[in-house]
Amino acid sequence: MAQSHLTRRTALRLGGTAVAAALVGTPVQGKARPNAVFDLDFSSSSDATATTATDAGWVVDRQAPAAWTTDPFMGDDRLRVDVDGDAPTSGFYAYQGEKYQDAGGSYWHAGTGSRLSYRFYVDPAWETDDVGQETGVWPVLGDADGDISAYPILAYQDSDANENDEPGFRAYVYETDADGTPTARWEHVGLPKHLGIDPEEGGWVTVEAQLQRTNEGAALKWRIDDKLVLDERGYNVFAPSTQYLEFIVNSVNFGVDQTYYYDDFVLTEPGQARHK
């Protein structure tokens, strides 16, 4: 993929892919989503850099990874996340990652109907290396006032990381008990047969999180490779949620240096795009 100082984000701001192609002098790979709030394909190093006062970007969440860069992998440029095996391996700081924010570190405020999609690579070596792997995306939801209301998560674990020795996905969901007190737990998703994913063969997986309107607010629908795997509208603590605020990519440190690859990190919303 051609390298250029003109990012897809800038192209969207200038008026779309036609402008980008004209300025770069080469065709833009892929077609920018018409209602994209942001659309990162990591063909430019700026897609992995820190936020500034004028540009959206990444900010360390809990523990900083060893590296957060763009890197050629399997014939294209990707987001490369290097986990530092010497960092903490338990508790809050066992999670290494960064969150994507709008310019100046502000929230995105993307309402119901918005969809986050991304791709990540399942490495077939994970099933034979006797080391745990876990990585995933944490959408941050907010209420009508813009305050954080929930952290729904979808993470992938290899068989070494999973407590049942089974590779697959798990989701972090919220429920309320009989007294109305919210509680959080992990919901096992696994690898449903209709997905056709073989962890021993590996490959790229596409994930989508749709912010679905409910009678009381909003909740997520998770899709993997365009197939619904979890509808969180039954978890009623999401009732006050009305919008996406920011998005975190986190990976667990198992005490070994590791690398994860992501690509095509896109947020779309209904109606007029904001051209970020």
* Segment 97-124 mean pLDDT: 97
**Mean pLDDT across the chain:** 86
Question: Each residue of 186-216: pLDDT tens digit?
Answer: 999 999 999 999 999 999 999 999 998 887 7
Q: Model pTM?
A: 0.85
- 120 within 8 A of 204, measured Cβ to Cβ: yes
CB count in 10 Å sphere of residue 14: 14
Domains, in order of start, for the chain? 1-32 (no CATH), 34-268 (2.60.120.200)
Give the containing element (helix H, strand E) for 12: helix 8-14
The pLDDT score that the predictor gives to residue 176 is 75
- Arithmetic mean of pLDDT, 166-172: 96
Alpha-carbon separation of residue 265 from 35, 125, 137, 229 (angstroms): 14, 24, 10, 20
What secondary structure does DSSP assign to 13-40, as a single string? HHTSHHHHHHHHSSPPSS---TTEEEEE
C-alpha torsion 193→196→202→205, nearest 10: -100
- Banded pLDDT at 239 (limits 50, 70, 90): low
CA distances 217 to 139, 192, 222, Å, are 16, 28, 17
Q: Looking at residue 165, what is its pLDDT?
A: 94
Beta strand ranges found along 108-196 (DSSP E): 110-111, 115-122, 134-142, 148-150, 153-157, 168-176, 182-190
CA distances, 95 to each of 133, 200, 272 (Å): 12, 25, 35
Section 75-98 average pLDDT: 98
CB atoms near residue 195 (< 10 Å): 17
Least confident of 44-58, 75-89, 139-153: 139-153
- Structure token pair of residue 148: 């954080």
pLDDT in tens, 49-85: 999 999 999 999 999 999 999 999 999 999 999 999 9
Q: Is the pLDDT confidence value at 274 over 70?
A: no
Q: DSSP string of 101-124?
A: EBGGGB---EETT-EEEEEEEE-G
pLDDT of residue 241: 87
Residue 71 backbone phi and psi in degrees, to 5: -160, 135
13 confidence band (pLDDT: 50, 70, 90) = very low
* Closest of 180, 49, 199, 11 to residue 121, by C-alpha: 199
Burial 225-256 (b: 16+ CB within 10 A, else e): eeeebbebbebbbbbbbbbbbbbbbbbbbbee
Local confidence band at 154 (pLDDT 50, 70, 90 cut-offs): very high
Q: How confident is the model at residue 23 (pLDDT cuts 50, 70, 90)?
A: very low
Q: Is 216 helix (H, G, I), strand (E, B) or coil?
A: coil
Least confident of 8-12, 82-86, 104-108, 256-260: 8-12
- Does position 24 have pLDDT exceeding 90, yes or no? no
pLDDT classification of 10: cutoffs 50, 70, 90 = very low
